[in-house]
Amino acid sequence: MRKTNLRTITGSGSVDSITTSYEGQYLGQLISAALLSGDTIDKGGITVKPNVKYKEVVKKLDTTGIVTDATCDFTVTADQITLSERILQVDPYQVNLQVCKKDFLSDYLALEMGNSAYTNLPSSFADYIMAHVVAKVAEKTEQNIWGGLVANAGEFNGITVQALADADVNDVPGVTATAFTADNIIDELGKVVDAIPAAVYGKEDLHIYLPTGAFQKYVRALGGFGAITGAGGGANGVDNRGSLWYDNGGLSFEGIKVFKAPGMPADHIVAAEKSNLFFGTALLNDMGQTSAKLLDMADLDGSDNVRIVLRFQAGVTYGVSQDVTLYTLA
């Protein structure tokens, strides 16, 4: 539900106040669009937990040696079950913007603002500015998921930041490349695959997450513009079609899905199961920490300003460190 308060100006005609409080299902849709429309989330590259109230324990169960020789007794062998856990923490963030109505009198939106001296921001622009804010939040969230740094305002520690500080994560050895190119991307991806733990290799939801630059080089290599060997390629690329072979479809490398993650730092590659990567938000919580408002300040201080307020919570982590593989350029 979206609540809008109306006011009437006498003498010069009437005008609607655009003060708007987004509530209920409409609020959920707005915040969902802001947080969940980045590529990593929208295209299913990570597991979303929508009801995290500040902290949630992410647990993963592992068993070893559970099959033994049969006896007449019930005998529990020590260390058969291992329960690992990490903390998924969501922190509060906000968007505070202010625009002046008169700044839009000279453009096409002036037609919608009426002839009254008490002009109001047109509803079309109100929708536009909220859509703009939503898109920017989604873009920032995508960046935060992979490379965010909590020391920076508006950011939480991303997957690569956490992995770099985690001694249990599998670091890809033997990396000497300082940049991704069409000539070296095949070899570098091979190093990533070689570093993936045997217990994870072959899992259905295993992905290799590439930054945009590395993804472009991989596409170019498969088009025959790099020193590509195997993979059905050659001097003219896949099916001898050169650069025309790729139409934004899904890619894989040695049977592992390749996922383009625009928020991934340019010097990293991550290999992990989607089920081992978690994005948390308080999207549906009942703590009142998720909100969106459009405030017409004419009702409050007589000014011609409109304020946009958005509040939400977000955070990211992975479950089992040993199942994550991190590649870093030299």
For position 99, what pLDDT does the model report?
82
Q: Which residues of 203-219 are buried (b: 16+ CB within 10 A; e: fewer)?
A: beebbbbbbeebbebbb
47-49 and 277-281 strand pairing: parallel
pLDDT digits (tens, 9 = 90+) for 184-204: 999 999 999 999 999 999 999
pLDDT digits (tens, 9 = 90+) for 285-307: 433 456 778 888 887 898 988 88
pLDDT digits (tens, 9 = 90+) for 249-261: 889 999 999 999 9
Q: Is 10 exposed, middle or buried (0-12, 13-18, 19+ CB in 10 A)?
A: exposed
pLDDT digits (tens, 9 = 90+) for 105-145: 565 455 565 665 655 655 666 776 777 787 888 899 999 99
Catalogue all structural domains in the chain, each as residue range(s) with its CATH number: 2-60+87-153+282-318 (no CATH), 160-277+321-328 (3.30.2320.10)
Total-model pTM: 0.78
Average pLDDT over residues 86-104: 87
Average pLDDT over residues 48-63: 82
Amino acid at 20: T
Mean pLDDT over each residue of the chain, to the nearest integer: 80
Band (169; pLDDT cuts 50, 70, 90): very high
For position 225, what pLDDT does the model report?
61
